[in-house]
Amino acid sequence: MESSVLEWLGVEIIGVMSPVSICMFLVVLLVYSLSSPSTTATTIATAANLVYAENPSDTAAQKLEGAVLNAVVFIVFIALATFLLVLLYYYNCTAFLLHYTRFSTFFVLAAMGGSILLSLLERFSVPLDAVTSFLLLFNFAVVGVLSVFAGGGLPILLRQCYTVCLGIIVAAWFTKLPEWTTWTVLVALALYDLVAVLAPGGPLKLLVELESSRNEELPALVYEARPTVNTRNHAAAVGFIVAGVSDSETSRIELQVVSRVNSNNNNNLSSNNDNGENGINDEWERSPLVGGMRFGEVVVDEGMSPLVEMSGVGENEEEGEGVRRKIGERGIKLGLGDFVFYSVLVGRAAMYDLMTVYACYLAIISGLGCTLILLSMCRKALPALPISIALGVLFYFLTRLLMEPFIVGTATNLMMF
């Protein structure tokens, strides 16, 4: 029976939203596990709070002014780092970028992850000697680096799990920022992401253009939601454009083609599958994310083609079958920065009340869905943070200032509504 396009699209969206939900849920658990009424909240010194150290005795105006200064400095730092990344990539320093990303991954898993592990051991009074802890952390970090950057040979599930772990660890550290600084930085990052992706000359826009012109992928920390459906037994193609993502510090969404095919004529093509696949050149693996794609004898311009291309994209289905298999292995990619800042928002909401956690979670998931819908309509690169962060911040303050007093007041007075 032929599957509908909505079913395929739903599978892809769930493949992105599920790891995001797991990351946010585990960050909330970490926040609740490491916080207790008897302990005072500790803040960390990062680029996000270099200028102003928030003090509970400060007035609201002082906190707002200091938080804005911290956000400006942090955004400037991120922008400089991103432009430096563009320059290094422009001058073909790909090997340096790859080694730096590997080192950053090892540092996050070993050092930052080790600090969180130590806090959990102290919180729950778990006895563990230093030698065992070192061996566990070292093996955990090494396997993580290998699974994220090894490419083939390792299960994709292992890579996905380690990518989610990286997002959890970084997000757990960012939740230690002061409250006013956290909210201001999140709003500033959403605005910066909007400018960096859509504005002419934006750093992330330049990265997309360089990556497409060179037919190679930029070394970055991304989550790959690869298709789980076996495309070997399908014939007619259903192609649609979905989201792929960017670097580890900030996020962008770029266009990528995912090929899905139905299972009507698999018996007629079973004898030609191997011949069609062997005839595919390795250049398809290195093809640009945005460009023309040839199916059989027909060239489909992705900028002008409809969102959903139904069956019949060429008369030579045997030749196009191998192409579709290779393209179908790519799936959706979501940047690690999206995982981090979505989880930071929910983690900060968890420090206040569970009601705000539920509201922020629903807002973020709704914003992510709206981003994918807008991507299908605009058919060009779109930032992933602005809609989700805007809805999350809005729902947090509406819940905290309006909904919670109403719910608590009605429950206290035993009123029904």
Question: pLDDT digits over 106-135, tens only?
Answer: 999 999 999 999 999 998 989 999 999 999
What residue segments make up the domains of the chain, in order of their start? 5-35+58-225+330-413
Mind telling me the catalytic residues?
Answer: 193, 338
Closest CA to 238 of 309, 186, 293: 309
In angstroms, rounded to a whole number, what is the distance separating the alpha carbons of residues 257 and 59? 51
- Give the position of tokens 């909904």: 403
Q: In angstroms, what CA-CA distances link 226 with 15, 215, 229, 231, 377?
A: 8, 20, 9, 12, 22
Residue 284: what pLDDT? Answer: 42
What pTM does this model have?
0.74
In angstroms, rounded to a whole number, what is the distance separating the alpha carbons of residues 263 and 22? 32
Residue 37: what pLDDT? Answer: 59
Average pLDDT over every residue of 176-189:
93
Ranking 12-16, 379-383, 390-394 by mean pLDDT, the lowest is 379-383
Residues 36, 112, 19: CA angle, nearest 5 degrees: 85
pLDDT exceeds cutoff 90 at 65: yes
Residue 314: what pLDDT? Answer: 40
pLDDT exceeds cutoff 70 at 268: no
Q: What is the pLDDT of residues 269-314, one digit of tens each?
A: 444 444 444 444 444 433 333 333 333 333 333 333 333 333 333 4
